[in-house]
Structure 1
Amino acid sequence: MRHVPSRGSLVLFVLFSAAAAAPNPSPAQEPPAEPMGIEACVQEALRANPLLEAAGHGLLAAREAESAARSAYLPRLDFQAASRRFESRAFLPSALTGEAAPAGGISPVIGPVNQHSLAMKGTYTLFDGGLRRAEAAHAAAGTWGALHAREEARQKVVLSVHKAFYGALAAQESLGVAEKVLERALQHERMALARRETGDAPLADVLRARVRTSEARVALLRASSDVSVAMGALNAAMGRPPQTPLSIRHDPRTPADAPLPSVGEALAAALSERPELDGAVQRVEAGRRRVEAARSAFVPKVRLEGSYGRLDQGFFPGDRDWSLGIALAVPVFTGFARGHDLARARAELARSESEALWVVLAVEQEAFAALARAEESRAAVLAVRDLVREAEESLRMARERYAEGAGTITDLLDAETGLSEARLREVRAVYEERMAAAELRWATGRADGETSGTGER
C-alpha cells in the first residue's frame, strides 16, 4: 500500500522549508526608516512575490518543452553494448545437412555460443505526416501562452498591491479619525461634568457622555487592529511575511485629475491589451496543433536507419558489423486509439474556442464594471465632502447650544456621531476612488499605467 503523507507532515515540510530559506531574524526588528510609497511597494512585489516566480518557472518550462519538440528534427544516435550467450537453429537446405552432404553435413544447431557487440545506431525521420511540425507549433503556442500567463500574473500582483496599499492608507486615516473621535468624546464628557457641577445638567448627561467615551475607546482599539491587518495584507501582496515591519507614506497622486475613458474606449483597450485574451488565443492555437498531430497518426512514417559496430565471440569484439537502410512503418490497427485521440483533440479544440469566447465576455464585463465603479467613486467623493462640511457645522452648532444650555446632550452626541460617520465615509470614499482607478487600469490592461508589453519571448 502506498504511503500517503498526512496533512500535518506537509505543513511541517512547508514550514521547515520556509524557515531554511528565510534569513536569520534580527533580535529587535524596527520599522524601516524610509516609508514606502506605492511605486516602491509595486517594485518590491515584482521582485519578491512568489506568484511571479512561479509564472517565470512556468515560462521556462514551456520554453524547454518547445526546444524538446524541435529536437525531433535532429537525428538520434544511440550507443549500444550487449553481451549474451545463446543457442539457435538454422533452417538450411537438406543438401547441406543430410548424410549425402560432404563431410557428413552441417549441423543446423548454432551454439551454445557467446556473443559480444558494440554498436552506434542512428535514426532520422524523413517523413512523419507533419507530426514534428504540429508538435513544435503546439509547443510554441504553449510558450506564448506561458508568456501571457506571466504578464497576467504580473498585472494581478500590481493590482493587489494597489488595493492593499490604499487599504492600508485608509486604515491609517480611519485610525486618525478614531483618535479625533475619542478626543471629542473626552471634551464632551468634560463639558457635561462642568455643567453637572454648576447644576445646569443632570447626571444622565454625564453618564451618556461617559458611555460615548467608552465606545470611542473601543472603536480606537478596533481601528488600531485594522491597521495591523491592513499592513499584513500589504506585506503579503508584496511577497513578504505579514509581520514584517512596514511604514508607508501617502500617495501624492490624485487619480481624479485624469479624465475617465468612455465605455467604448474602455472596452477597446481591454480587448487589445488584456493578456488573458492573448492567452486564450494561444490555447486555441495549441488545440489546432493537437488536432494536426492526431491526424498524422494515420500517415505512414519513413525513417533512415543505420548502425556501425563490432561483433565477436570474445570480449573486445573485432569483427565489423554495419547496416544502412530505409524503414517504412504503416499503422494498420491500433485498437482504434488513433480515432479516439483525434476525437479527443477536436473536442479539446472546441472547448478552447468556447473558453476563448467566454474570456472575451468576461474581459468586457470587467472593464464595463470597473468603469462604472470609477465613475461612482468619483461622484461619491464629491458628495461625501459636502456631507463632512455639513456635519462639522452641525457639531459646532450643537456644541455651542449645549454650552449655553439651549441644547441637550442627545443633540450634541448625535451631531458628534454624525461627524464621525461622515469622516469615516470620506476616508472610505477617497481610497475606494483610488482602488477603483487602479482596478480600471487593470481591467483595461494597464495595471501599472503601461501596456502589457509581452512582445519579447
Structure 2
Amino acid sequence: TSQRFTSSGSTELGSSASLALNYLLFDFGGRAARIDTTLAQQRATVSQVADTAQTVALTTITAYNSLSASLGAVTAARATVAFNRSSFDLADAKRRAGVSTPADALQARTSLAQAELTLAQAQGNARTAAGQLAVAIGQPPTTVLTLAPTPSLDTADSLTRDVGTLIADAERLRPDLTTARANRDAALANVRATRSDTRPSVGVSVQDSLGYANSATDSNRATVGLTLSVPLFNGFDRTYRVASARAEADRQTALLEQSRQQAGLDVYTQATALRTAIAVLATARELINSATASADIAQGRFKAGVGTFTDLLNAQSALASARQQLVSADFGVRDAQARLARAVGQIGDAVDSMRARR
C-alpha cells in the first residue's frame, strides 16, 4: 500500500506490505475425513465408468452372438431346403414313373416351400441382427460386417466353477459393488468431517509486515501465534447436520448390503442358466445325430420303395427342428456365458478367453 501525507508544509510518500500464513494443525480428523470423502467419491466415479463399459461390452457380445446364431439358422435352413428338395425330386420322379401317387409329390412340394419360407425368414433375421451389431459397435446399420470365426464351445468355460467362488469373485470384481462401497465410505467419512465441525480446532499463523515512511524511517515486524477456534451454540444446526450425515451413512450401508444380495442372486441365476444351457446343448447334439440318421434312413427306404412318404416327411421335419434347436442351444450357451461373466464382473476376461480360443 502507499500513502501521501503532508507534515510541516512538506509532502512525503509512505508504503507498507504484509504477508500472512495460516495453517491448520489439528481439527479432530476433519481435514483427513474430507480428503477421504473426495477420494471415495473419485472411486465411485471411476467404478461407474467401468460398470457402463461392462454393460456396453455385454450388449456388443450379445449382438455378436445373436448374429452368429442368425447365420447359423440360415445355414440350417439351407440344409433343410437341400434335403427337402432331394425328397421332392425323389417323390416327383416316382410320380412320373407311376410308382407313387401325386399326393406324395404335392406333400413334398409343400414341405419344400415351407423350408424355403423358413430360409427367407432366417435371412431376414440375419440382416436385422447384422444391423443391430453394427449399431452396437458404433457403426451405421448398413455397414457390411465380416464376423471373426466363432470360438469353439468344446472347452469347458472357466465360469462353470463353484457358485460360491463365483459369488466371492463378484463381490470383489463387480463395478456396481465397488461404487456402493465407495458411496458408503464417502458417507462414513462425511460423518467424521461433520462431527469435527462441532469440535475445537488449533492452527498456527505467521505474519510479516514491512513499512516505509521516508528515507530515515522504515519498519519490519514479524508475528507468530497459535489460534484456537471453538464452535459456539448455533441452534443445534451442527447437531442436526451430524444426525443427517449418520442417516445417510446408514442408508448407503443398507444399499451396499442390498447390492451384495442382488449380486449374489444374479450370479446364482446366471450360473444356473449356464449349466442348463450346457445340458440343453449336449441333448441337442445327440438329437441332431439321431435325427440326421433317421432322415437318411427314411429317405433311403422311400427311394427303395419299402417306406412311406409320410415316414420321410416326419423324419425330415424332425431333422429340420433338430437343426434349429442345435443353433438355439449353441446361442443359449454363448449368451449364458456372457451374462454370467457380466454378473461376476469378468466380462473383459470372458472376451479375452473367447479371443484366445479362436
**How does the TM-score come out when normalised to structure 2?**
0.76
- Tell me which residue corresponds to 2:83: 184
Q: 1:162 to 1:330 in 2, by over 3 A?
A: same
CA deviation vs aligned residue, 1:286-342 (integer Å, no higher than 9, x gap): 1101111222332356675979899xxxxxxxxx9x998987765545554433322
Following the alignment from structure 1 to structure 2, what is the Cα–Cα distance between the partners of residues 331 and 272? 42
- Tell me which residue corresponds to 1:212: 111
- Secondary structure of the residue aligned to 2:155 is helix
The aligned amino acid for 2:175 is P
- Tell me which residue corresponds to 2:9: none
Following the alignment from structure 1 to structure 2, what is the Cα–Cα distance between the partners of residues 293 and 307? 32
Determine whether 1:364 maps to 2:226.
Answer: no
Listed as ranges, the gaps of 5+ residues in structure 2 are 2-16, 212-218, 352-358
Following the alignment from structure 1 to structure 2, what is the Cα–Cα distance between the partners of residues 395 and 138? 69
From 186, 193, 198, give the equivalent of 1:286.
186
Q: What's the offset of the Cα at 1:172?
A: 0.8
Following the alignment from structure 1 to structure 2, what is the Cα–Cα distance between the partners of residues 269 and 262? 11
Determine whether 1:148 maps to 2:77.
Answer: no
Following the alignment from structure 2 to structure 1, what is the Cα–Cα distance between the partners of residues 50 and 208? 48
Q: What's the offset of the Cα at 1:388?
A: 0.7
Following the alignment from structure 2 to structure 1, what is the Cα–Cα distance between the partners of residues 29 and 172? 33
Q: 1:362 to 1:119 in 2, by over 3 A?
A: same
- Tell me which residue corresponds to 2:354: none
Following the alignment from structure 1 to structure 2, what is the Cα–Cα distance between the partners of residues 262 and 142? 34
Q: What's the offset of the Cα at 1:427?
A: 1.6
The aligned amino acid for 1:271 is E
Determine whether 1:393 maps to 2:290.
Answer: no
Counterpart contact for 1:300–1:331, Cα < 8 Å:
yes
- Tell me which residue corresponds to 1:267: 167
CA deviation vs aligned residue, 1:203-227 (integer Å, no higher than 9, x gap): 4333333332332222112211221
Larger helix proportion of the pair: 2
Listed as ranges, the gaps of 5+ residues in structure 1 are 1-80, 82-117, 311-319, 452-457
The aligned amino acid for 1:197 is R
Q: What's the offset of the Cα at 1:176?
A: 0.7
Counterpart contact for 1:159–1:439, Cα < 8 Å:
yes
Following the alignment from structure 1 to structure 2, what is the Cα–Cα distance between the partners of residues 235 and 220? 23
Following the alignment from structure 1 to structure 2, what is the Cα–Cα distance between the partners of residues 206 and 191? 8
- Tell me which residue corresponds to 1:222: 121
Q: How many residues align?
A: 330
Following the alignment from structure 1 to structure 2, what is the Cα–Cα distance between the partners of residues 298 and 252? 62
The aligned amino acid for 1:139 is T
Following the alignment from structure 1 to structure 2, what is the Cα–Cα distance between the partners of residues 450 and 234? 18
Q: 1:123 to 1:228 in 2, by over 3 A?
A: farther
From 39, 55, 63, give the equivalent of 1:164.
63
- Secondary structure of the residue aligned to 1:163 is helix
Mean CA deviation greater in 235-244 or 346-355 = 235-244
The aligned amino acid for 2:115 is A
From 299, 306, 309, give the equivalent of 1:409.
309
Question: Once the two structures are aligned, what percentage of the paired residues are identical?
Answer: 28
- Secondary structure of the residue aligned to 1:256 is coil
Mean CA deviation greater in 138-147 or 252-261 = 252-261
Following the alignment from structure 1 to structure 2, what is the Cα–Cα distance between the partners of residues 234 and 425? 23
After superposition, residues 229-378 of structure 1 pair within 5 angstroms as 229-254=128-153, 256-258=155-157, 260-300=160-200, 331-332=231-232, 334=234, 336-378=236-278
CA deviation vs aligned residue, 1:37-91 (integer Å, no higher than 9, x gap): xxxxxxxxxxxxxxxxxxxxxxxxxxxxxxxxxxxxxxxxxxxx9xxxxxxxxxx
- Tell me which residue corresponds to 2:339: 439
Counterpart contact for 2:281–2:329, Cα < 8 Å:
yes
After superposition, residues 42-57 of structure 1 pair within 5 angstroms as none
Q: 1:199 to 1:307 in 2, by over 3 A?
A: farther
- Secondary structure of the residue aligned to 1:244 is coil
Q: 1:335 to 1:123 in 2, by over 3 A?
A: same
Q: What's the offset of the Cα at 1:244?
A: 2.4
Greater RCO (CA < 8 Å, at least 6 residues apart): 2
The aligned amino acid for 1:228 is R
From 110, 127, 139, give the equivalent of 2:38.
139
- Tell me which residue corresponds to 1:98: none
After superposition, residues 123-134 of structure 1 pair within 5 angstroms as 125=24, 128-134=27-33
The aligned amino acid for 1:263 is V
